[in-house]
Amino acid sequence: MEINFFQTANVQIALQAVIDSLRSRPIGDSKAQLLRDILGIIKANGAAFDEKCATNIGWIGSQLEGNAQVLAKTPADDKALDLFIAFVYRFIVEFDLSNINDLSMELGSFLDFVRTNRYLFTEDAQRIMNYADHAMPIAIMKNLLGTDVLSNIKNVEKYAGDVEGKFSKWNKDLDDREERAEQIKASLETYTTGFNFVGLYDGFNSLTTEKTNELKKLQDAQIFMGSLAIAPTLVELGVIVCNLANFDGIKYALLASSVPAISLTVLLVYFFRLSVRSVDSCKSQLLQLELRKTLCRFVQNYVEYVGKLKPEERESIAKFETVVFSGIVATDEKIPATFDGLEQLTKLLKVARSN
């Protein structure tokens, strides 16, 4: 079970309070300075101490937190300081016992200092430290012997048999599944033709989407060009309506402007005609694409079917192939190019000029 003690907010706050309060002790106080350094390491590595010190967390975790709160309020109390160091010493010893690797230099220095200068601590603190060095490792071992971790070690042979049996069952299942996979593979190969036509349908569907978007743009352009084509005429009419009272004064100006207005109108009508043709062409292409998509729905077994046909019977499928695999063209055979009408427009201008 995952333990979460040193990582909790309450414990982190309590340890930080001790670190801050110990700054009030005299400079050169080796106990206070060493404890501050160790508490900083514990705070920064709460997850590791939760994992390695599970036994002492269960035994004295609440006491450690309570003593931290007491020491934070009375940092000058030497007995409270020694007692708190003793509790921390127990956790560091268990951390050392549970850790395969060597301790860090800071943690090792803390253990060495306590063991070398134990006479500097109170009797209560010394008793806790002696327990941590001698009796606590045995108590921790006894505690572990009663857990499922070591109990399961006794059943290694039984577990090995169970694992071997499971591996045998898994191998059999894998063989069965491999055989089933081969059967599925053989079945899938029969659907290759069908999937090819599904891909062909998807291709036509993509073209349909593109042509639909193109048709919408062309229709918008058609509306725009139609509106633009009647704009010069509307402008001329607007000028006439606004100047009816003074029509004689502007009639020559209107006559002069009518020639470019008519020319512009003819040119815009021509481009409007082109837009109409483009819309009709796009609609025709969409119709052809829809026809191809419809035909593709009925040819799942097309290749297989053609392969079974006799040579004299294959002509019946030729029309289908012609429709499906022919290019997409417009219904109108001749669509005017952009500048096809310039010749007629030039003739019109020459006539207007001669007049």
Kindly state whether residue 285 falls inside one of the protein's structural domains.
Answer: yes
pLDDT, residue 329, reads 60
Q: Are residues 204 and 330 in the same domain?
A: yes
Q: Which of residues 129, 152, 175 is at a domain's end?
A: 152
Query: What are the tens digits of pLDDT across the range 167-208?
Result: 777 887 888 888 888 877 766 665 555 555 667 777 778 888
What's the distance, CA 120 to chain centroid?
A: 60
For residue 163, the 8-state DSSP code is: H
* Span 286-304, average pLDDT: 68
Q: Are residues 217 and 304 in the same domain?
A: yes
pLDDT, residue 175, reads 82
Kindly state whether residue 69 falls inside one of the protein's structural domains.
Answer: yes
Q: Token pair for residue 215?
A: 């048709």
Kindly state whether residue 59 falls inside one of the protein's structural domains.
Answer: yes
The total number of structural domains that make up the chain: 3
Q: Environment class of residue 133 by beta-carbon count within 10 Å: exposed (0-12), middle (13-18) or buried (19+)?
A: middle
Kindly state whether residue 1 falls inside one of the protein's structural domains.
Answer: no
Amino acid at 307: G
Q: Are residues 97 and 201 in the same domain?
A: no
Q: Are residues 276 and 181 in the same domain?
A: no
Kindly state whether residue 2 falls inside one of the protein's structural domains.
Answer: no
Q: Are residues 201 and 297 in the same domain?
A: yes
**Domain that includes residue 135, residue range:** 9-152
Q: Are residues 185 and 236 in the same domain?
A: no
- Threshold 0.85, pTM exceeds: no
Q: Are residues 135 and 202 in the same domain?
A: no
Q: Are residues 94 and 222 in the same domain?
A: no
Q: Are residues 347 and 213 in the same domain?
A: yes
Could you tell me the pLDDT band of residue 290, with boundaries at 50, 70 and 90?
confident
Measured CA to CA, the distance from residue 177 to residue 164 in angstroms comes to: 20
Q: Are residues 173 and 227 in the same domain?
A: no
Kindly state whether residue 266 falls inside one of the protein's structural domains.
Answer: yes
Q: Are residues 232 and 305 in the same domain?
A: yes
Per the CB < 8 A criterion, the answer to whether 265 and 233 are in contact is yes
For residue 328, the 8-state DSSP code is: P
Q: Are residues 84 and 207 in the same domain?
A: no
Percent of the chain predicted with pLDDT > 90: 36
What's the distance, CA 166 to chain centroid?
A: 37
Q: Which of residues 143, 169, 189 is at a domain's end?
A: 189
Kindly state whether residue 107 falls inside one of the protein's structural domains.
Answer: yes
Query: What are the tens digits of pLDDT across the range 308-339?
Result: 666 655 666 666 666 666 665 655 554 444 44
